[in-house]
Structure 1
């Protein structure tokens, strides 16, 4: 996807505006994203925990927030996913936003165990998945 100057301007503007309007700073390893602790935004589906506006501004500029809420991972897995977006999809450098975004994603959308009462088998290991 080619990034036009207008699109780059819009991304940068959204990023800066939302970065400045974070309601509270996100502290590493202190976020409790339980549904009883924080409400869910009706429009985006994101948990309204500290850092959600920063995630909204950076992530929804390119894709739906459903892509966020449907995925789960550890901090390392989220970091790898975001780095892939930077390297291949034209995502801008997150600079100071890395840690708050990773903390929010890894604690509000953490790695989940597979409920074997719903699924017949575990997913294939990445080694056996198509490339």
Structure 2
């Protein structure tokens, strides 16, 4: 029963994002079509990449990320992922190697939900 609920929730999110993508208006009207294309392309890409995910928690995490990215796009009127700032007293990935596991944990905890898939695809390993 829970899988039907997650399936329905996933399809609703997919349709919602596609609907918004088709009617998206950029703050600069010259960019409207580019931003619409980006939204539709990203949506199709991520739903296709994650179509075989069967772990309930992973599905919930992906749905949460999708909702967060959508809300960020609507709020900031910008469909592109927001930059991520590291918390104070942390090191970059390259510097963190010599500073140990504590830095890695701090960096991982500071990652917003809306960039987890992007980080994973770009080679930054996520534990979710």
TM-score by length of 2: 0.26
Q: Which is greater in Rg?
A: 2
